[in-house]
Every structure is written in structure tokens, then in C-alpha cells.
Homo-oligomer: A and B are copies of this chain.
């Protein structure tokens, strides 16, 4: 069975839970001008989504990080290192892409349900 948690968009789910795996996505709620601030915000949204889906950041398996300025990857890493569960480090990749409007970061994670 698949559980889908609605987003503000009728054609997209915020989280999908299937066969023991939660997949969720987040951008920052507030569009702060600094990547570090948006990264903290987006990671907090991820955490909230995971709790809503019945799991926690300690059960994250993989994280794909999309940032608009790869030169500032260290700023993302700073937010990540403060946030990630060191007992259960996720597999992570971080690449530079273009994002919509004022978004500086978008994050997709999978976690054990």
C-alpha cells in the first residue's frame, strides 16, 4: 500500500510512503538571502515532513541536495553538519543546479519508515 501526504499542489505529494520507505522533498519556507539560512530552514522542513510521515532524521538513508551556487557548498555543509545524525549518517550527493525564483536549495531524502 502507498500513502501519499498532500502538498499545497493537487498534482504533487509532499511525501510518499511505500514498502517501508518515505521519500520527501523540501525547499526553505522563508527565502532568506543566505544559503546557510535557507539550508537550516529546508532541513527543518525535511525533519517536520519525516515526523509527519512517522519517521525521523535518524532513519534517513539518502539525501540529494540541489543548490544554486556550488561555490557556497561549504555553507550548506555547515548547516548539514549541525543537523545530521552522526550516529546514522546518510548517503549524500550535492550538485549545483538552477532553482525557481528565490530558492537557493532543494532537498530530496529517502528514509526508513
A residues bordering B, Cβ < 8 Å? 2, 4, 6-7, 9-16, 18-21, 23-25, 59, 61-62, 64, 66, 70, 73, 80-81, 84, 86, 88-100, 106, 108, 112
Contact = CB atoms under 8 A, between A and B. Distances in A.
Contacts of A66: 93, 95
Please report whether the interface of chain A is mostly helix, strand, loop or mixed according to DSSP.
Answer: strand
B12 A89 contact: yes
A98 B9 CA distance: 26
B84 A70 contact: no
| Identical chains bound together, number | 3
A70 B96 CA distance: 13
Closest 8 CB pairs of A and B: A96-B98, A70-B98, A11-B84, A95-B97, A16-B91, A12-B92, A13-B89, A16-B61
